Amino acid sequence: MTVPFYTSTREYESRKQEFDKALQQVIARGDFILGAEVAEFEKEAASYLDVPYAVGVASGSDALVIGSDLLGFKNGAEVLTPTFTFFASTSCVARLGGTPVLVDQDPETLNMSLEDAASKVSSKTVGIIPVHLFLQPTPMQKVMDFARANKLTVLEDAAEAWGMESSVDGAWKKAGTIGDIGIYSFFPTKTLGAWGDAGLMVTNSEELYQKIKSYRVHGSSIKYHHDYIGYNSRLDTLQAAILRVKLQKTEESIVARARHAAHYIERLKEIPEVRIPKVAEGNRGVYYVFNILVPKRDQLAEFLKEKGIGYSIYYPIPLHLQKCFRYLGYKKGDFPVAERTCEEIIALPMYPELTDDEVDYVCDAIQGFYL
């Protein structure tokens, strides 16, 4: 048996007519840049997220840069961000001349450790970027209490967090809708994935909303009249059309992922070497990916490859040990939890179209490796 880590073809085959029709309508109209589908997707996404303002941009990485720019994460300002995360969560600050202040992770949830973050606050700290990784948000009640106490602005990196929820001030809220600005990535592998790069920015502030709309089009609100030095980062109309089709069944997708995760957990609990991240109290998770922590990770990865099983490693090197961030002055041993996680973590196949037989095959292989 061959089990791909991810595939888009199964979903396409099951909904081919819907996808083809959506694309053909855009092609027939020819409105490829900020066309009708973009505005409709923004409305539908805002409704799903229960947030007043949503703006489509070209990618999640662009969204982080634009958000950092708007919130003043630049020109020497210090911003708290995890060392265990995707590169864009920190490069967005660095490329604007801000100073990323890296933070270790919680060993059970794999998200940012707010205890470590508290020890890193200085008079230059202006903001925090909680990154909602893999399965669940960084607990946003704690984040917001911490931010309020230290007068920090909050840029939520919800690139991987579509559909996840956190309890804040007694109410369940979608991850990404709680801070000053939230961002999402629709990279194809995501829970809500496009067929290329695509992203979204959301906010509860009308002022920030108007600026985001302007910043994505070179700082312009009227054509060829520029109020800001903005960016060229527009959600492609064809991608918006695909996302609208997928959004219709996003809850079904989340339920399917949860069923596969429960299947994995039931099977893998029989293997003492396997550790599975825990969902924190006050969080509702979504299995964007299914990670496990194991000894002999690299040997297991090679074994899975031989068995025809796809996998991915998020992430093999923490950010403080990346060559481009050497100037920040960190060294090996500064973030022990993240460094250990990078040696143990491996992601297994996870997408709605997986079959029970495929999950069993993956679990049988892992069990066979450790027997």
H helix or E strand, kind and range, residue 338: helix 336-344
Residues 225 and 295 in one domain: no
pLDDT in tens, 334-366: 999 999 999 999 999 999 999 999 999 999 999
pLDDT in tens, 208-256: 999 999 999 999 999 999 999 999 999 999 999 999 999 999 999 999 9
Kindly state whether residue 3 falls inside one of the protein's structural domains. no
pLDDT in tens, 136-152: 999 999 999 999 999 99
Select from 154, 166, 187 the least CA-distant residue to 58.
Answer: 187
pTM over 0.95: yes
Residues 63 and 149 in one domain: yes
Query: Could you say which DSSP state residue 184 is in?
Result: E
What's the burial of 279, exposed, middle or buried (CB within 10 Å: 0-12/13-18/19+)? middle
Do residues 41 and 243 lie in contact, with contact meaning Cβ atoms separated by under 8 Å? Answer: yes
Average pLDDT for the chain = 98
Residues 95 and 223 in one domain: yes
Number of domains in the chain: 2
Residues 19 and 90 in one domain: yes
Residues 54 and 201 in one domain: yes
Spatial distance between the Cα atoms of 33 and 68, rounded to a whole number of angstroms: 24
pLDDT in tens, 11-55: 999 999 999 999 999 999 999 999 999 999 999 999 999 999 999
Kindly state whether residue 185 falls inside one of the protein's structural domains. yes
Cβ atoms < 10 Å from Cβ of 58: 20
> What's the whole-number mean pLDDT along residues 64-69?
98
Helix axes 356-370, 297-306, angle to 10 degrees: 130
β-bridge mates for residue 106, sequence order: none
pLDDT in tens, 67-86: 999 999 999 999 999 999 99
Domain stop point among 247, 268, 299: 247
**Residues spanned by the domain of 266:** 250-370
Percent of the chain with pLDDT strictly greater than 90 = 100
